[in-house]
Amino acid sequence: MNESALFADWQHRIAVDDDAQAFLELYRYFRQRLVKFAYSICHVKEDAEDIVEDVFVRIWVRRKSLDQVLNLKLYLYVATRNFSLNNIKLKERTAHLDLDNLKIEISDIHSDPHQHMIDLELAEKIHNTINELPPKCKAIYKLIKEDGLRYKEVAEILHLSPKTVENQLAIAIKRIAVSIGKKEKPAAQKKM
C-alpha cells in the first residue's frame, strides 16, 4: 500500500469507525516527524512535544470531521505549524506582561465605558456577519484571518485556486464592512 492510500485508510477508519488502532498508527507514523517540525519553529523540545500532543488530541476530538480533510499530511503539518506559532505568541505575551501595563489596560477599560460598549457591539456585529457567510467563504475567512494560514495553504487544503481563495476572502471582508457600515450610519444620524 502506498503512502497516500495508507493515510486515506487511517483517516477513514478514524473518522467513520472511531478506530483507536488507526489513530495510534497515524500517531506513531507522524509523531517524530511533527515533533522535529515543531522544534524547528519553537526551538524548545518539551514545547514541541506538547504541541504535537495537542495536535493529535484535537484530531481525535474532531475525528468525525477528519474525513473532510483532503490532504491529511498537509493538514497535520499546517496544524502543527499553527499550534507552534500560537505557542510562541503566547510565550511572548506572557514574557512581556508586567503589572504597570496591566494597570494601564484596566484603567483604559474603565475610563470610557461608552467606548467599551461600542467595541463590544462592533465585535458582536463582526461575529454575526462571519457566521452568516456562505460555508466556503466562512471557512476561507477563518483559515486566513483566525488561523493565520496563507492563501496558497488554504487553496491546497480546500483544493481551490489561490485566486478563488483571494476572491472569497474579499467577499467576506466586503460583507463585514457593509454590515458594519449599514448598522453604524443610522446610529450616527440619530445623534445629529
Task: Write down all domains in the chain, each with its CATH number in brackets.
Answer: 1-97 (1.10.1740.10), 111-192 (1.10.10.10)
**Distance of CA 68 to CAs 11, 115, 158, 177, Å?**
9, 42, 9, 30
Grid cell 480546500 — which residue?
158
In whole angstroms, give the CA distance from residue 56 to residue 79.
Answer: 10
Res 184: pLDDT? 43
pLDDT in tens, 101-152: 444 444 444 456 777 777 788 888 888 888 899 988 888 888 888 777 788 8
Cut 0.75: pTM above it: no
> From the centroid of its chain, how far is CA 55?
12
Three cell numbers written together for 183 = 448598522
In whole angstroms, give the CA distance from residue 93 to residue 114.
Answer: 27
Residue 53, pLDDT above cutoff 80? yes
Instruction: Work out the burial of residue 104: count CB atoms within 10 Å of its CB; fewer than 13 is exposed, 13-18 middle, 19 or more buried.
Output: exposed
